[in-house]
Chain A
Amino acid sequence: MSDTILSVSNLGVTFGKGRNPHEVVRGVSFSIPSGKTLALVGESGSGKSVTCRTIMGLLAPNATVTRGRIDYRCHIGDGNTENLLTVSQRRMRAIRGDGIAMIFQEPMSSLSPFHTIGAQVSEMLALHSESDDRSRRERCIETFEAVGFADPERTFDAYPFELSGGMRQRAMIAMATICVPNLLIADEPTTALDVTTQALILDLIQKRQADTGMSVLLVTHDLGVVANVADYVTVMRQGEVMESGPAHDLLCTPRHPYLKRLIAAAPAIDTTRAPPPAPDNDLIVRAEDVSKTYLSRGRGLFGVGSEKIHALRDVNLSIPRGGTVALVGESGSGKSTLARIIMRDERPDAGSRISYDMGEGPFTADTLDAKAMMRFRQDVQIVFQDPYSSLSPRMTVQDILAEPLKVHDICNRAERRERSMAMMRRVGLSPDHLSRFPHAFSGGQRQRIAIARALALEPKLLICDEPTSALDVSVQAQVLDLLAELREEFGLSYLFISHDLAVVSHLADEIAVMCRGAVVEQAPAKVLFEAPLHPYTKALMAAAPDPHPDHRLDLNAISLGAGARPEAWPEPYRYDRRDPLPLREVDTRHYVRMDA
């Protein structure tokens, strides 16, 4: 095939040298047709990232390529190919960036904080084409415009830390495509972004592809993303190719059981759940008019000129006993702040009223003495987003699970051991593994340990702060199922935080959609999913990618509401940043922030 831009054949990569090398890529083959998009799909540890790093020659020093070849065709249409595994260092440097460019998962750290965006992007031109300073600047600004920067001149002189995650990823795309490469490798380019931003970035990659005619190798674990952009799919698992073929055929009629399982696990908004019973007045938390303002660090010796930042504005939220309330919104919308205030990690502004009722009568956190506060801590527990950093790497699982019991002086050593073993069994892990350290477990298993730790004190209210965002989709579904089971079994109430409505739909009875510190729409889950009103909610719903190739993302709906820009919303939802519109009850328990 002379229109193949790159073909990988029988590639093998091992990690570690000496006696026990670990083979992470085992005989992988695929080829990328010119101008098309191939998606490399798999869960973490499947070897997809290692494969594309091998193509770019970016492997870590402890990795060795043991077999195979990577044939790259520099000029489409002519018969010559070169094997990227054997070309000289010099030739490889010329290919990188010019022929094959790459964007990475972490837009936050993939750009140097010390150089302006313009300097970093124009460096590409300086390396690969011989233009002078002025024409480089011009071309950068053209490219910035093409990737959707509103003020490209200003972007040129901005530093990465002055841009949001989505904007940084745009800058990365500008950098990768400015030399018009033949192939763009995108390694999980949207995994670290909000769903709405993800949709816009995916759209941008496709636009750039249409503009430049480049091929794209997209690495992702998300079949919803694949369905939206890929022409061909290669599914990898444990270093081997499971199945490959045209995207449409593969996703509509998967043959391999592994792919079937992945498709089944892909999160989709679940509207089949029965609506929860109307809540009586048995509330575990009732938060009224909760606000939180931070003072930005002002300039000058005494912080003169500091600005007020409204992290939360007059939020009203009640969690019924045994129920689940979800907070949904893009990053920076204030959902984690609200959770921290409810668990009394931070204090709200004066005038906010939060009352709790753990079953023994209502109280507020302000009146608690030290002893009652300890009791309160026992009743409210949290599961964090990142199980890789929320568990101490220096403690065994036994110590991790027993520590809360020890802190609250609940039982003796033997009982603690007993309870830890029971908790391990309950979250689906073997009690034999209690003496292991967290690094011996996978991400999903670690999150189970974190859940077990939170449940050790038999709390009444569990706060789940994006508990599945760091996990693979198939594991995500399992953790959500576990949380649902535990809620029934222990009579827990959940405050569930996520940026993904599909995740929330499996658990939540009531959903509050937050934007810029304010709730913009709040309703029972079923109502919200069936009749969303607010453009921001609609954007969030439209942005959740569906693994079925015929259900493409509705970019119009997304761009109407996304980006948390209330001043850009259509009437009657538009408002100035400084004073939001009132929250109106449009239907029973369905609140929308809008003009009457």
Chain B
Amino acid sequence: MIRYLANRIATMAVTLAVVSALVFFIINLPPGDFLSNQIAELQAQGESASVAKAEFLRAQYSLDEPLWKQYLIWIGAMPGPDGYSGLLQGDYGWSFEFDQPVAEVLGETLWLTVLVNLAAMLFIYAVSLPLGTLAAVRAGGVTDYAVAFIGYLGLATPNFLLALILLYYGERYLGLPIGGLMDSRFEGEPFSFDKFKSIIAHLIVPTIVIGTAGTASMIRRLRANLLDELGKPYVTTAKAKGLHPTKRVVKYPLRAALNPFVADIGNLLPSLVSGSVLVSVVLSLPTLGPALLAALRSQDHYLAGFILLFVSVLTLAGMLISDILLAILDPRIRFGGRGR
């Protein structure tokens, strides 16, 4: 098991290196960069002082170097003008748009994004596990159709519409706060219990909104998997033992149907980040989605590059978690090589 883990982490590191290179080159694919655009603008206005500053920045960030050197400097594998200062050293780069280090621009956004997506994922699993199981066990019955109806409703409703509706009624009947992920007075404040409470209250609507669409497809997948498993002979064996119907389903076929369910964690994370941009805008959530959109539009390439890389790390972490869970759940993966 430890060997398996070490293996997985080693492959993950290699993957991450490849992904980082890809990200960097993709970000640099569009012609020009933030600074060259700015310089062109300044030159048009004839402000030579500012041009000189921009030229200085160009040299400072090695933007006149070949791309592969820029990449190596960015990840910190090669000394830049200030020596080794890249991702490996914990320097995430400079945001030209905000004129601040990327780390400061993003600040709390990073872990808030993780928080929102984690909450949405837990919501998806918490809702689709019982509903999908119910739909499979009662396949073809009223419950099955009711669950399918709920699922399709979630799939078909535009997220931002659902967001607006929930915001309105949540505020009106439940007194839920509107917009953002915490009261404005807590922003940038150190962590406290009140801040935590505020975040939880703000988290309810986004979690439901972002989670609904994923829930629908997850229910369908679980239902299909479980239906396959329910017909397997080992389920008949369990019945022939005299096992209670509920325990029979939960202990045997559900266990098998969980495999694809768990394997989906890795796929779910990135789709949640990119899928929730619109919702984040509507709900004015300080998450990575909107930040990435803005950074891409202004060609603020260190910022965009870092966000993309962060999402990749999330994905890889998700994959790792699902692989570990799979190995724990499924002895065939754990002991595939044993005893032969």
Whether the pair B329, A114 counts as a contact (CB closer than 8 A) is yes
- Interface segment among B173-181, B292-300, B308-316, B332-340: the answer is B332-340
CB within 8 Å for A110 and B237 given contacts A123-B243, A161-B332, A300-B3:
yes
Query: What is the total of A-B residue contacts with beta carbons within 8 Å?
Result: 85
- CB proximity of B242 to chain A, nearest CB, Å: 4
A128 and B238 CA atoms in complex are apart in Å by 13
Chain A, 144-169, CB within 8 A of any chain B CB = 158-159, 161-162
Q: A106-B233, A161-B332 are in contact. Are A297 and B238 (CB under 8 A)?
A: no
Contact of B330 with A104 in the complex, beta carbons under 8 Å: no
Partner of B234 from the list A112, A296, A299 (CB cut-off 8 Å) is A112
Query: Is the pair B256, A123 in contact by a Cβ cutoff of 8 Å?
Result: no
A113 and B7 CA atoms in complex are apart in Å by: 25
Of residues 83 through 141 on chain A, the ones whose CB sits less than 8 Å from some CB of chain B are 92-98, 101-102, 104, 106, 109-116, 123-124, 127-128
Cα distance, A299 to B340, chains bound together (Å): 13
Contact of B11 with A by CB under 8 A: yes
Chain B residue at minimal CB-CB distance from A94: B242
Residues of B within 8 A of A97 (CB): 240-242
A172 to B3: give the CA distance in the assembly, Å.
Answer: 33
B185 within 8 A of A: no
Q: Which of B11, B241, B330 contacts A114 (CB 8 A)?
A: B330
Query: Could you tell me the distance between the alpha carbons of A115 and B256 in the complex, rounded to whole angstroms?
Result: 11
Chain B residue nearest to A89 in the complex (CB)? B245
Q: Name the B residues within 8 Å of A104 (CB-CB).
A: 233, 236-237
Check: B232 CB closer than 8 A to any chain A CB. Answer: yes
- Is A180 an interface position by the 8 A CB rule? no
Given A106-B233, A110-B234, A114-B330, also A96-B240 (CB < 8 A): yes
| Choice from A93, A158, A300 contacting B243 with Cβ under 8 Å | A93
| Interface positions of B (Cβ within 8 A of A) | 3, 7, 10-11, 232-234, 236-244, 252, 255-256, 329-332, 335-340
Quick check: A102 and B240 within 8 Å, CB to CB? yes
A58 interfacial by beta-carbon distance below 8 Å: yes
Interface of A is mostly: loop
| Count of A interface residues, CB-CB < 8 Å | 37
Q: Give Cα A158 to B239, complex, Å.
A: 22
Indicate if the CB atoms of B256 and A113 lie closer than 8 Å: yes
27 A-B residue pairs with Cβ-Cβ distance under 8 Å, sorted by A, are: A56-B240, A93-B242, A93-B244, A94-B242, A96-B239, A96-B240, A96-B241, A97-B241, A97-B242, A104-B236, A109-B232, A110-B233, A110-B236, A110-B237, A112-B238, A113-B234, A113-B256, A113-B331, A114-B330, A114-B331, A128-B242, A159-B331, A162-B339, A172-B237, A175-B241, A296-B340, A300-B7
A341 to B165, CA, bound (A): 66
Contact B232 A299 (CB under 8 A): no
> B241 near A124 (CB under 8 angstroms)?
yes
Q: Is the CB of B338 within 8 A of A111?
A: no
Chain A residues within an 8 Å CB radius of B239: 56, 58, 96
Ranked nearest first, the 5 interchain pairs of A and B with the lowest CB-CB distance are A96-B242, A97-B242, A97-B241, A162-B339, A93-B242
> How close is A367's CB to chain B, nearest CB, in angstroms?
37
Indicate if the CB atoms of B243 and A159 lie closer than 8 Å.
Answer: no
Does chain B have a CB within 8 A of A596? no
Complex: A297 Cα to B237 Cα, angstroms: 32
Determine the chain A residues whose CB is within 8 A of the CB of B255 once the complex forms: 112, 114
- Is A274 an interface residue, CB under 8 A from the partner? no
Query: Taking the nearest CB of chain B, how far is it from the CB of A83, in angstroms?
Result: 18
16 further A-B contacts with Cβ under 8 Å, apart from A159-B331, A159-B332, are A93-B242, A93-B244, A97-B242, A101-B240, A104-B233, A109-B232, A110-B236, A111-B234, A112-B234, A112-B237, A113-B256, A113-B332, A127-B243, A162-B340, A296-B337, A298-B337
Q: Mark A52-80, 1 if CB is under 8 A from B, else 0.
A: 00001010000000000000000000000
Tell me the complex Cα distance, A111–B238, Å: 9
Of all chain B residues, which has the CB nearest A123?
B241
Contact B335 A162 (CB under 8 A): yes
Q: How far is the CA of A106 from the CA of B239 in the complex (A)?
A: 16
Tell me whether A58 and B236 are in contact (CB under 8 A). yes
Using Cβ atoms and an 8 Å threshold, which residues of chain A touch B241? 96-97, 123-124, 127, 175
